[in-house]
């Protein structure tokens, strides 16, 4: 399942993994069942090199300029940004809530860290999401194994460093099993300071 659909061009800088961009948008009044979630999420393109990433990314709307209830997802190629995907099933995510106005800059920093392999947790990272909501925006980074505390702590510490978060900022971790159970991405999270 590591079949690459795109390859780096001549002279380009290859990425450790290929990544795929996804976009989703939903009407907030409608319940987010897993079926309607899958119908609302669209694959928009894959990249294999740093240069391909910039060409693609430069044509995307900045997340902070999106309206309504929408998400950009950047996941390793072959991993669907869904709790149920084989690679995500035993995983979870770190959540960072952002006040309005910060999403574009923080999103860029989190994905550059991911593409550049700054997390140093082997194969653990699955992808990153920026979620545009009405009151606040939310960044998350998903990993494969929610009960591996060495990994989750290292991801948290790397996030603090690459996003330059104050040491007392609140970060929350939520397992995908819990998200499936309450059918919600961001409710009832375990808070960690």
Partner 1 sequence: GTRIIYDRKFLLQCRTSPLAR
Least Cβ distance, residue 125 to partner 1 (angstroms)? 12
Site for partner 1 in 2-61 (CB under 8 A): 9, 11-16, 50-51, 54-55, 58
Structure tokens at 123: 């194969």
Bridge partners of 143? Answer: 92, 125
Q: What string of DSSP letters covers 55-78?
A: HHHHTSPPGGG--SSEEEEEEETT
Name which of 8 and 64 has its Cβ closer to partner 1: 8
Confirm or reject binding of residue 172 to partner 1 (CB under 8 A): no
Least Cβ distance, residue 99 to partner 1 (angstroms)? 23
Give which of 35, 4, 30 is closest to 18, Cα–Cα. 4
Name which of 52 and 87 has its Cβ closer to partner 1: 52
- Helix H or strand E encompassing 125: strand 125-132
Least Cβ distance, residue 120 to partner 1 (angstroms)? 8
- Helix H or strand E encompassing 181: helix 176-182
Specify the stretch interacting with partner 1 by CB under 8 A; choose among 67-75, 105-113, 142-150, 179-187: 105-113
Cβ partners under 8 Å of residue 136, min gap 6: 97, 98, 99, 100
Specify the stretch interacting with partner 1 by CB under 8 A; choose among 21-29, 77-85, 108-116, 144-152: 108-116
Binding site for partner 1 (CB under 8 A): 9, 11-16, 50-51, 54-55, 58, 109, 112-113, 115-118, 162
């Amino acid at each position: 399942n590591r079949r690459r659909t795109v390859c780096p061009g001549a002279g380009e800088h290859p990425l450790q993994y290929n990544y795929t961009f996804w976009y989703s948008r939903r009407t907030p009044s409608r319940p987010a069942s897993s079926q309607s979630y899958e119908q609302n999420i669209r694959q928009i393109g894959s990249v294999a090199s740093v240069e391909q990433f910039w060409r693609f990314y430069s044509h995307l709307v900045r997340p902070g300029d999106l309206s309504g209830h929408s998400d950009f997802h950047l996941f390793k190629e072959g991993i669907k940004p869904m709790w149920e995907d084989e690679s995500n099933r035993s995983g979870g995510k770190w959540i960072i809530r952002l006040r309005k106005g910060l999403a574009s800059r923080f999103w860029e920093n989190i994905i550059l860290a991911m593409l550049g392999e700054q997390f140093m947790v082997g194969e653990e990272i699955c992808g990153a999401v920026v979620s545009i909501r009405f009151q606040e925006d939310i960044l998350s980074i998903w990993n494969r194994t929610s009960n591996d505390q060495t990994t989750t702590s290292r991801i948290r510490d790397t996030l603090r460093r690459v996003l330059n978060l104050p040491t007392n900022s609140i970060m929350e971790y939520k397992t995908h099993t819990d998200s499936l159970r309450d059918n919600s991405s961001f409710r009832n999270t375990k808070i960690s300071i």
